[in-house]
Amino acid sequence: MGGAEALGQPDGHANGAVVEEKLDELRRQLGKADGDPLRIVGVGAGAWGSVFCALLQDAYGHLRDKAQVRIWRRPGRAVDRATAEHLFDVINAREDVLRRLIRRCAYLKYVEARLGDRTLYADEILRDGFCLNMIDTPLCPLKVVTNLQEAVWDADIVVNGVPSTDTREVFGEIGRYWKERITAPVIISLAKGIEASLDPLPRIITPTQMISNATGVPSENILYLGGPNIASEIYNKEYANARICGADKWRKPLAKFLRQPHFIVWDNSDLITHEVMGGLKNVYAIGAGMVAALTNESATSKSVYFALCTSEMIYITHLLEEEPEKLAGPLLADTYVTLLKGRNAWYGQKLAKGELTLEMGDSIKGKGTIQGVSAVEAFYELLSQDSLSVMHPEANRSVAPVEMCPILKALHRILITRDRPADSILQAIRDETMYDPRERIEMAQGHSLYRPSLLGQPKDVKT
């Protein structure tokens, strides 16, 4: 199935001892016997999923008797010739990568692919350390498994790196393989996206909930990890932080295990809300990319959009969270990095410039799934429900919450119903009747908007 070399053992004996001690501590908590390696499996090989596994391989892969890191991706995805040519240039620009491939007798196939004499496949190049969605950032070689059952059947820790739109299907299949398991694995979900459910009450379904429903793994064993980060920059050791959210039993041990000098991991008990916020910022990132492209990167226009979209996001968090102030920092940080360099903002730019069309779908070559598109549909559908109605401050009547979110409405018409062009986003931010964003925030703070039923809480405390 393709072996993986361990690159870059931890610097110095003392640091190496600390790494081994962290691994031993987690092994004890998972009840691993001596001689039985801790099996960590990534499911899905997009940019962040691949980087996450590569970070663990770099940190712990040299301790082969104690830890095994592998990653599953679907087989058969061909690398087109233009990408193969670019990959060849990336290889030759990095002496360490070039030498590694020559040493592994793998360089010749990249020469042949560049000439068009050979077809490369995504799982094949991942074994050599190249993610198809992040071709410019070479990773360490990874052990790649293309058979899902083989990958996960005995896993101790599973990392969900598939998009939210694929999570239910993939983990439904995994659940069938785990029917005979005696002990439940620990699952860390990286997916940022949501689904809407309207029956019996409007509510949000998150990837961790999908995983629990599909596999029967108890919710205390399923965690969410998110944060303001760009996968390629994290692998290049830009300083970053993330937050792992979930039940007490596993979040602190995992935060310690995942923490590295350049990648600080905090922990929090509020899993579902952080997970939902990870999906919400993708919605508004698409609009930000559109505004940037349509105004020729006008700093003024982008700041107007930012003020308006963040006020909508704050308004929505008041519907979802009893104490939304706790989320302000993480949500704004994650939004900021996504606007700067995320794939959702990039997608919005390409749509507005006409370089992509909606007919191409939301899975884009070299980028992966644009999760903000499905999130626009889910949030719009939920916030359109009359059962969640709020009082309109000027009309003095009840309206669905979406009526207080004109940018979300505009994005829905552009991306989902497709009855407005991309440049209509500008009308949404130039509307003379729109509230000062401060007023929307004050409105949210001054009214009891909290609807716990949206996150599946049993009691609605609406007054």
Whole-number average pLDDT of the chain? 90
Q: In degrees rounded to 5, what are phi and psi of residue 68?
A: -135, 125
* pLDDT for position 5: 38
Q: What is the pTM of this model?
A: 0.90
Torsion of CA 332, 337, 341, 342, to 10 degrees: -60
Q: What is the identity of the amino acid at 329? A: G
Tell me the per-residue pLDDT of 126-167, one tens digit each, with 9 for 90 and over: 999 999 999 999 999 999 999 999 999 999 999 999 999 999
Please check whether the two domains, 18-75+144-269 and 272-455, share a CATH topology.
no
Q: Which tens digits make up the pLDDT trace of 237-255?
A: 999 999 999 999 999 999 9
326 is catalytic: no
Catalytic residue among 281, 350, 367, 409: 281
User: What are the pLDDT digits (tens) for 268-309?
Assistant: 998 988 899 999 999 999 999 999 999 999 999 999 999 999
pLDDT digits 0-9 by tens, 310-328: 989 988 988 888 877 777 7
pLDDT band at 435 (very low <50, low <70, confident <90, very high): low
- The backbone torsions φ and ψ at residue 154, rounded to the nearest 5 degrees and listed phi first, read -115, 20
**Residues 3-44 pLDDT 10s:** 433 334 444 455 788 999 999 999 999 999 999 999 999 999
Q: End-to-end alpha-carbon separation of the chain, Å?
A: 59
Number of CB atoms found within 10 A of residue 176's CB: 11
Q: Burial of 461 by CB count in 10 Å (0-12 exposed, 13-18 middle, 19+ buried)?
A: exposed
Spell out the domain ranges in the chain: 18-75+144-269, 272-455
Q: Which CATH class is domain 18-75+144-269?
A: alpha beta
Strands (E), 207-288: 222-226, 240-245, 263-268
Task: Determine the topology of domain 272-455 in CATH.
Answer: N-(1-d-carboxylethyl)-l-norvaline Dehydrogenase; domain 2 (1.10.1040)
